[in-house]
């Protein structure tokens, strides 16, 4: 059973995470994992049970008027659904770890992409000690499984700072940013 990426993403943006899936099964084939909204851009993350593996997918949407329009995304396969409880910092390799990143061009319907903007996202996994992740003035609560997604526009990637339950910062990580053509040479 496939899920409607656009409809499920819009619902996730509108309502946030409403459930805490413990695991996927033959009856429950997909689950919402994370969402972040930064102004008129959003990124949603889902896990879907496939044949013999699990797909971890991120989807980027942009607000056009009152509607959220799907632009694209990406993902990867894994042997597990990743919905187990968060590990400790020693098992994870720190309080916050970047697990993946990507981005899409927002050409706003132009025939050529010039004048458009780049929308980036990063997939984070945080340790059991982290209660929230702060990115600029946004505070992202951390679900039980510890998967968080961050979205932004512009060339400069933000810093994600993990905070404990007492509000103290535990660790920060620079998110992977878009490189200019000169940096790619």
CB atoms within 10 A of CB 167: 9
pLDDT of residue 180: 41
Distance CA 121, CA 103 (A): 6
Distance CA 143, CA 149 (A): 11
Q: What does the radius of gyration of the chain's CA atoms come to, in whole angstroms?
A: 16
Local confidence band at 183 (pLDDT 50, 70, 90 cut-offs): very low
Local confidence band at 130 (pLDDT 50, 70, 90 cut-offs): very high
Distance CA 56, CA 124 (A): 12
Query: Of the candidates 65, 166, 55, which has an alpha carbon nearest to the alpha carbon of residue 108?
Result: 65
Local confidence band at 113 (pLDDT 50, 70, 90 cut-offs): low
pLDDT tens track for 34-49: 999 999 999 999 888 8
Q: What predicted TM-score, i.e. pTM, was given to this entire model? A: 0.87
Distance CA 158, CA 136 (A): 7
Are the C-beta atoms of residues 137 and 102 closer than 8 Å to each other? no
Query: Of the candidates 82, 58, 88, which has an alpha carbon nearest to the alpha carbon of residue 147?
Result: 82
- Residue 97 tokens, joined: 């770890």
């Amino acid at each position: 059973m496939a899920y409607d990426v656009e409809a499920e993403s819009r619902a996730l943006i509108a309502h946030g995470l409403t459930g805490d899936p413990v695991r996927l099964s033959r009856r429950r084939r997909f689950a919402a994992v994370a969402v972040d909204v930064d102004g008129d851009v959003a990124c949603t993350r889902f896990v879907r049970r496939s044949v013999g593996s699990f797909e971890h997918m991120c989807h980027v949407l942009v607000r056009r008027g009152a509607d959220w329009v799907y632009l694209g995304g990406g993902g990867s396969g894994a042997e597990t659904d990743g919905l187990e409880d968060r590990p400790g910092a020693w098992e994870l390799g720190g309080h916050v770890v970047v697990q993946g990143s990507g981005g899409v061009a927002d050409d706003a319907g132009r025939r050529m992409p010039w004048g458009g903007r780049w929308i980036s996202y990063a997939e984070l996994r945080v340790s059991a000690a982290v209660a929230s992740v702060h990115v600029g003035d946004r505070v992202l609560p951390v679900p039980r499984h510890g998967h968080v997604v961050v979205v932004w526009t512009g060339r400069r990637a933000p810093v994600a700072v993990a905070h404990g339950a007492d509000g103290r910062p535990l660790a920060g990580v620079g998110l992977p940013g878009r490189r200019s053509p000169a940096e790619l040479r």
